[in-house]
Structure 1
Amino acid sequence: MGLNPFKKREPKDKRPLFTEKDRANISWFWHGYLKQKTPWLFLVLGMVMIQGLVYQQFLRLTEDGLRVIFDSGQKTELIKVCIIVFGLFAVRGLMSYLVPRLSVWLASDAVLKLRRDLIQHLMTLDLAYFERTNSGEIILRMVNQAQDLSDFVGQQTVNAVRDAATVIIVSGYLIYKSPILFSTAVIVLPAIFFIMQSVSDRIKTVQRSAENALGNYMTGIEEMSNGMRTVKISGQEENEKHRLRKATVEIKSLSIRLQAAQALVAPSIDLSSAFVYVLVIGGGGYLALDPESGLDGAGIIAFLLGIVLVFDPARLLAQFFTRLQANLIILDSVYSLFEQKPSVTDSPDASDEFDPQADITLNNVAFHYSPSAPLFHDLDMTIAGGKRTAIVGATGSGKTTVLSLLTRLYNVEKGEIRIGGKPINSLKVKSLRSAFSVVAQDIVIFNSSIWENIRYVRPEATDEQIWAAAEAAEIAELIRARGDAPLGPKGSQLSGGQKQRIAIARALLRGAPILLLDEATSALDQKTEEKIQKSLGIVSEGKTTIIVAHRLSSVVGADWIYVMDAGTIVEQGTHADLMAQQGLYAGMFQAQKKSYGDD
């Protein structure tokens, strides 16, 4: 059942305009991104005060002008008043130009710093965060919500400050002119506050749902775009249309409900204003008829004009507070990303020093992705330095997870992994990972040239080094043929073999002492695999090489092979040893060999 923004709530469900979390989020944003701009903010505040003073002086001069018309009838005095009024509004016009220019610059600069911090923090988060978080949610925070905050802080908040200054300054003048009449006029303020209080909680509820719906919609678009090959081949265009249209209908519904909640404010204030105008006209007229009241016709007209000048910005100010509730949800959503803390971090005494060519050992390692389904329990494994070690097994047996643990994409839950006798959690993460090169089945290809895709892993590499890597990976001719032409989203203009050669060229250019081959040829046909294996042989020469494979033909030449099943090592040895055992490995190898023969 959907959330109803108009559902009657019990008094115990009422929330304050600003919760403790709201105040904490505002304090974080202020101290982190605005406080250092305090001098500029005071300048903006000063210009805003000038705008409010213009209205106050306008009222005074209007009253004087009316008296000139009604009493003295001196044209020169009237002209003088008109010139001064024009000059005042020229000043206000200048302030109206400078204030948004300066405030937008301040807000944009603050949000630029916010985005930089978001990017910086995002890069520190563990792989697990990205695996459990929809990409649409991340994009929503980094792009839409950050921009929404910029617009709110730079335009809406400054306008609200201007409106508040106008209300305060003009109200002060009206109190000075007639405290009794002004007290009568502000009798509706408690009603306005009650309206804001009742609407704010509804707005927050609907806004939170709207942000979630928008995030899911963006994720759906990305999934559709990434899976378009499957969508087209399987003829599921209609299903994708239905799925995305359903999401857009939900967003539309939530937007309407949000607007409906916000729309309660303006008519309520307008009705309240009408009530006030009646009181002022009636009460003011009565006072004007009383010679002892000190108010004449010109004063009453100016007072009524002042009430108009107060209530219009007051109405906008009340609407600002309703929009503020929605932006507090956005602010909380952005800040929630900073609340995500990485679990894979450097220990206080972490070291850079270790021997990357030494043996790698896993001792009594335990790990799980889900507490209800542990993957490893007391896993022991030794990977000889400078040798080729293979890990094979069925899908889900834990092969790739071993590589993730070696590179500290995840931390082990029990046991220890060592390189050359040094626990990897005593090493700096950056230094540890710099010892690894990866050639995987799922290759990240950017929409730029092949040259730039290769250089990605080592931006400081020389042209000669990049050409050497490309030649060794047999991709140099394609670079010459394509030049600087982009490769399309995710390398859509390349074949699987060409993508693998880019990955191999990257590994060659990186030149790390430990090479991870994660299903590097599983997506290739047998003929292409044979060509790629030759290049892989060049890459792995003299390095500690760990081969994770489902296709056993790629591990025949390994120095040692571990066979895994459901997170446990069930067999180990050379290819000849394992074939002689006539166990799981031998059965898998014979089945695959027969399959290749049938092909």
Structure 2
Amino acid sequence: MKKPKKRAPLYSPRDRENLRWLWSRYLRRKSPWLLLVLGMILIQGLVYQQFLAMTESGLRVIFESGSVAELARICAFVFLLFATRGLMSYLVPRVTVWVSNDAIYQMRRDLINHLMSLDLAYFERTKSGEIIQRLVSQTQALGVFVGQAIANAVRDAVTVVIVSGYLIYKNPILFGTAVVVLPFIIWTMNYVSDRVKVTQGEAETELADYMNGIEETVNGMRTVKIASQEQVETDRLMKGTGHIRDLMNRVQITQALVMPSIDLSSAFVYVLVIGLGGYMVISPSFDVDGAGIITFLLGMVMVFDPARLLAQFFGGLQSNMVLLERIRRLYDEVPTIRDAPDAVAEFDTGGDIVLENVSFAYSPDQPLFEGLDMTLAGGKVSAIVGSTGSGKTTVLSLLSRLYDVQGGRITIGGQPIDRLQLRALRAAYSVVAQDIVIFNNSIWENIRYVNPDATDAEVWQAAENAEIAELVRRRGDAPVGPKGAQLSGGQKQRIAIARAFLMDAPILLLDEATSALDQATEARIKSALDRLTKGKTTIVVAHRLSSVADADHIFVLEQGRLVEKGRHADLLAQGGLYAQLYNAQKEGYDGR
């Protein structure tokens, strides 16, 4: 016989830990303000209690004494009470919204700082839509919940406690009869909260996928248009839209069970109060009059209305527990590439770069390097070539510690790079990559990005050296579009080359630096590249072998193994893999 599924606890240990984290890290420092808010909420609750007392007195004035002056005094006092509550209702959200917005600002600041500390591997395995969702929508929703929903819930809870206390004081028998439905309400809330928490988690995952899909579609719109795949992308996005709709329907339909349940409970209570209260008025055994019963009924309304809102709050609380967990989970990601305790900043940037018995794999079942040995001479030009997937670019990633080797070691001037401060190590490199990041800003600012303190003259010189100064003058301050959409591949790479000139680091990494340039443009900037590499340790990764013919040393990789090394002429004479690749490319160019 299948065992019934055990219901998860309403608040798991992780939930409680997350709430403590939120309080201690972002809210505790605002304790004086939160105490002020609590004081104003208590005033709001006392207003209702005093209103009930004055209402009962007013009803007795009407039914018994008939004093107009007394009735006017009571009305004036009631007006003053609600004016006070109105003032509190204005001040409470003003303070709580300020507290929550400041807390969310600090949370986003910490999230951004933490993201910047994570390894490249995290960003390569995590969908960008998920990161955007955490930084934007989830933190904002959590801020609204903290700033408004929690304050309102505390206000409602205080109202329920104070008014209930007054009703117990006035008629404990009648109140005890009214709370018989409380176990049913608690059961309903547990049931709803459990289902909301599960469904909300599914909805957040689906929403992250949806946002990532939108980003992929927008970024790939050129391909979508050329391939006439608009309908395919529409169908794909609409499928995600449908999934989100269905999940949110499940969340909201489940939450919708709360209100009718409490309404039916309220109706049952009102019938009990009217019936039993009416009997108390009629019976001579109880000292209860009509004014007391009317006031009690009014008090029950004041209890059940905030109780309804509290029920909604606890339903929403489960959704926000999911959001808080998603945000907190980001902090579980710990960078593995960081400074060693004894890391130093000084090292011989002109020394040889040596890979000794290096092993590395992106995944355990697919090793790339096993015992790789290479010596990249300081002050010389070393080229790394090979077919796609041979590990050329990975070597550059290991040199700059975007990834750490899993065996062996890499040294610069005899100093292991994992004993160097990351900032100092990476500051020693200028990089010109095929996949260049371009910001939606002017070309001038894109060049200046790598060295914000550079003078205008230095930026202009870098642009001149990279043969892009004329384009800078022509475009002026005009932004280049998202990811440089208004620029050609060659223009983007010349920006990368200009950045390398401006950075002027002692070690130059060229990763397919001229792959997007036509031969005429490549010839024009070859002299500039020669000046850029002069006196520097230069490591060139290239697919076009003609561009590395002048290198001091060429390393040929094949499936992660070093199969050949030497100068261009020597490698051609050997007739090995390099010669085969070179001749194949030469025939391809000649056959055009």
Letter aligned with residue 323 of structure 1: G
Deviation by residue 1:237-276 (Cα, 9 ceiling, x = unmatched): 1110010010000000001011011111111011101100
**Alpha-carbon distance in 2 for matches of 1:170, 1:115:** 40
Secondary structure of 1:256's aligned partner: helix
Deviation by residue 1:302-357 (Cα, 9 ceiling, x = unmatched): 00000000001001101100100010000000001111000101111111111111
Shift of 1:527: 2.4
Secondary structure of 1:366's aligned partner: strand
1:322 to 1:15, Cα distance in 2 relative to 1, 3 A: same
Deviation by residue 1:145-201 (Cα, 9 ceiling, x = unmatched): 000000000011110010001000000100100111111111111111101111112
Letter aligned with residue 257 of structure 2: L
Gaps of 5+ in 2: none
Question: Following superposition, which runs of at least 4 residues in structure 1 exceed 4 angstroms of deviation?
Answer: 9-12
The one of 500, 515, 525 aligned to 1:507: 500
Q: Does 1:557 align with 2:559?
A: no
Secondary structure of 1:569's aligned partner: strand
Secondary structure of 2:402's aligned partner: coil
**Alpha-carbon distance in 2 for matches of 1:336, 1:92:** 40
The aligned residue for residue 350 of structure 2 is 357
Q: Which moves more between the two structures, 222-231 or 464-473?
A: 464-473
Kept in 2, the 8 Å contact 1:473–1:501? The answer is yes
**Alpha-carbon distance in 1 for matches of 2:217, 2:44:** 51
The aligned residue for residue 342 of structure 1 is 335
Letter aligned with residue 114 of structure 2: H
1:17 to 1:167, Cα distance in 2 relative to 1, 3 A: same
Shift of 1:294: 2.4
Shift of 1:101: 1.1
**Alpha-carbon distance in 2 for matches of 1:526, 1:596:** 11
Kept in 2, the 8 Å contact 1:163–1:314? The answer is yes
Deviation by residue 1:270-309 (Cα, 9 ceiling, x = unmatched): 1101100011111111111234422211010000000000
**Alpha-carbon distance in 1 for matches of 2:66, 2:518:** 101
The one of 474, 487, 490 aligned to 1:481: 474
Secondary structure of 1:13's aligned partner: coil
Q: Does 1:591 align with 2:584?
A: yes
Question: Structure 1 length normalisation: TM-score?
Answer: 0.97
Deviation by residue 1:483-541 (Cα, 9 ceiling, x = unmatched): 11100111111122211111111111111101100011223332233234333222212
The aligned residue for residue 560 of structure 2 is 567
The aligned residue for residue 79 of structure 1 is 72
**Alpha-carbon distance in 1 for matches of 2:304, 2:242:** 37
Kept in 1, the 8 Å contact 2:480–2:486? The answer is yes
Shift of 1:595: 0.8
Kept in 1, the 8 Å contact 2:466–2:495? The answer is yes
**Alpha-carbon distance in 2 for matches of 1:523, 1:464:** 27
Q: CA RMSD in A?
A: 1.1
Letter aligned with residue 486 of structure 2: Q
The one of 413, 430, 435 aligned to 1:420: 413
Secondary structure of 2:480's aligned partner: coil
**Alpha-carbon distance in 2 for matches of 1:436, 1:240:** 40
The one of 440, 447, 453 aligned to 1:447: 440
Letter aligned with residue 339 of structure 1: D
Q: Does 1:493 align with 2:483?
A: no
**Alpha-carbon distance in 1 for matches of 2:171, 2:120:** 67
**Alpha-carbon distance in 2 for matches of 1:591, 1:85:** 95
Give the length in aligned residue pairs: 591
Shift of 1:11: 5.1
**Alpha-carbon distance in 2 for matches of 1:60, 1:383:** 89
Secondary structure of 1:390's aligned partner: strand
The one of 254, 275, 282 aligned to 1:282: 275
Shift of 1:233: 0.8
Secondary structure of 2:557's aligned partner: strand
Map residues 176-575 of structure 1 onto 2, 5 A cutoff.
176-575=169-568
**Alpha-carbon distance in 1 for matches of 2:408, 2:449:** 35
Shift of 1:10: 6.4
Kept in 1, the 8 Å contact 2:447–2:459? The answer is yes
Letter aligned with residue 178 of structure 1: N
**Alpha-carbon distance in 2 for matches of 1:10, 1:521:** 66
Secondary structure of 1:172's aligned partner: helix
**Alpha-carbon distance in 2 for matches of 1:175, 1:129:** 58
Letter aligned with residue 437 of structure 1: S
**Alpha-carbon distance in 2 for matches of 1:330, 1:36:** 22
Map residues 30-45 of structure 1 onto 2, 5 A cutoff.
30-45=23-38
Map residues 139-158 of structure 1 onto 2, 5 A cutoff.
139-158=132-151
Map residues 21-36 of structure 1 onto 2, 5 A cutoff.
21-36=14-29
Letter aligned with residue 189 of structure 2: M
**Alpha-carbon distance in 2 for matches of 1:126, 1:27:** 28
Question: Structure 2 length normalisation: TM-score?
Answer: 0.99
Kept in 2, the 8 Å contact 1:391–1:561? The answer is yes
Gaps of 5+ in 1: 1-8
The aligned residue for residue 3 of structure 1 is none
**Alpha-carbon distance in 1 for matches of 2:476, 2:488:** 17
Map residues 50-61 of structure 1 onto 2, 5 A cutoff.
50-61=43-54
Q: Name the % identity.
A: 64
**Alpha-carbon distance in 1 for matches of 2:516, 2:445:** 24
Kept in 1, the 8 Å contact 2:467–2:525? The answer is no
